[in-house]
Amino acid sequence: MTAVCSSPSRRTAKKRQAEVTLIAGLGIEGDAHGGPGLRQVSLLSEMSLARMEQAGVGTRHGCCGENIDISADMELHTLLPGVRLLLGNDAVVAVTGVGKDNADGHADLVIEGNIFPREGLFAEVMTGGRVAPGDIMELVRAGAYSVGVLTVSDSSSRGEREDQSGPALLDLLRSSGFIAARYSVVPDELAAISEKLRLWCEDGALDLLLTTGGTGFSPRDVTPEATAAVFDRAVPGIPEMIRSMSARTVPTAWLSRAVAGIRMGTLIVNLPGSRKAAVECAGFMLGLAGHALEVLRGEAFRCGG
């Protein structure tokens, strides 16, 4: 964490503090937004503040009305409701939502060009504690593995077609005992895909990252190339196994160009774009994923029997 902030008044920028005290079920002691509900604490990434600066808006910590600013290494707004974050040594918050409606322009009264409605996080305090700048923030796994889902689709990224594959994969992950930690949609652009994969792998929040879409023969299908550009080590067996099992019923599965690989501590696996195929193919590999992630995290030391 780079800053902790509070204010006795609503709809104002918050002032930087040496430390704050989080109270379970209430929020930050002395802050105007404290109280029961789903918006007890607000968080914003330095990455978002940097985007405001690039747009010509001068910023400072707490300027968007947020309580806690996080390092630019963390993309906060793709974290999903329910994800729990450890702040400092003791405090635990649960994400309740991303941003808020700004139809009446109230966020711009705090600062013109306020990015919080699009990229800020709200959270509920589950366990209290003192938090100060320089303290850690990390995802609470509680014995489960965390997974992100990245949908690659031009039409869905433009809002022209509802993404069905990504949400279906998130449902499958939750029902299979994984933490559905992140979700986003990007267009079929190599640079955009690679950048999102890098961000999600490098902040340590994910054990597994599933992509859906962009694995075929179309000139716009570049997910395998974008993935191969970021991983450190290839894992060819997983896509080979998925193609083999899929081809038993759908021979065209052999035309998939999906790849898999490891970047830092995260396993990345490409899946098809259709809802049915994405869920089916994820089901083929999730049985192996537990052991694979045990080895990757150093909790087991053999990949074979």
In a shared domain, residues 162 and 208: yes
Same-domain status, 129 and 263: no
Question: Tell me, what's the pLDDT at 200?
Answer: 97
The residue among 120, 139, 158 that closes a domain is 139
CATH number reported for the structural domain that contains residue 251 in this entry: 3.40.980.10
Does the residue 13 lie in any domain? yes
* Pair 167, 200 in one domain: yes
- The structure tokens listed for 116 are 């919080």
DSSP secondary structure of 105-173: -HHHHHSTT--HHHH-EEEEEEE-EEE-TT--EEE--TTS-EEEEEEE-HHHHTTSS---HHHHHHHHH
Q: Inform me whether the pLDDT recorded for 304 exceeds 60.
A: no
Looking up residue 28, the CATH number of its domain turns out to be 2.40.33.20
How many domains are there within the chain? 2
Residue 220 within a domain: yes
Helix extents (H) in the chain: 46-54, 106-110, 116-119, 154-157, 165-175, 190-202, 223-228, 237-246, 275-296
Do residues 16 and 130 both lie within one domain?
yes
User: Mind listing the pLDDT tens digit for each residue in 113-129?
Assistant: 999 999 999 999 999 99
Whether the predicted pLDDT of 103 surpasses 90:
no
Tens digits of per-residue pLDDT, 127-158?
A: 999 999 999 999 999 999 999 999 999 999 99
Model pLDDT, residue 185: 98
Judge contact between 77 and 120, C-beta under 8 A. yes
Mean pLDDT computed over every residue of the chain: 95
Are both 79 and 203 inside the same structural domain? no
pLDDT of residue 302: 60
The predicted structure's pLDDT at residue 303: 56
Residue 304: inside a domain, yes or no? no
Q: Are 83 and 108 in contact (CB under 8 A)?
A: no
Better pLDDT: 101 or 301: 101
User: Domain boundary at 139, 165, 198, which?
Assistant: 139
Tell me whether residue 133 is in a domain: yes
Q: Are residues 135 and 245 in the same domain?
A: no
One-letter amino acid of 90: D
Structure tokens at 195: 């950048």
Q: Is residue 303 part of a domain?
A: no
Give the end of a domain, one of 139, 162, 197: 139
Tell me which amino acid residue 114 is.
N
Same domain, 152 and 278: yes
Same domain, residue pair 179 and 223: yes
Task: Evaluate if residue 305 carries a pLDDT over 60.
Answer: no
pLDDT for the residue numbered 102: 79
Residue 256 is predicted with a pLDDT of: 98
pLDDT value of residue 37:
94
Residues 120 and 160 reside in one and the same domain: no
pLDDT digits (tens, 9 = 90+) for 167-222: 999 999 999 999 999 999 999 999 999 999 999 999 999 999 999 999 999 999 99
Which amino acid, 178?
Answer: F
pLDDT cut 70: percent of the chain above it: 98
Residue 203 half-sphere exposure, CB side, CA atoms within 13 Å? 27
**Are residues 240 and 211 part of one domain?**
yes
84 domain-assigned: yes
Range of the domain at 35: 3-139
Q: Is residue 282 located within the same domain as residue 196?
A: yes
Joined tokens for residue 271: 């899946």
pLDDT of residue 255: 97
Tell me phi and psi for residue 109, to 5 degrees: -75, -25
Which pLDDT tens digit goes with each residue over 14-70?
999 999 999 999 999 999 999 999 999 999 999 999 999 999 999 999 999 999 999
Q: Quote the pLDDT of residue 86.
A: 97
My answer on whether 281 and 151 are in the same domain is: yes
Q: CA–CA separation, 154 vs 237, rounded Å?
A: 29
Q: Is 11 within the bounds of a domain?
A: yes
b/e for 177-205, b at 16 or more Cβ within 10 A? ebbbbbbbbbebbeeebbebbebbbbbeb
Whether 209 is covered by a domain: the verdict is yes
Distance CA 260, CA 273 (A): 15
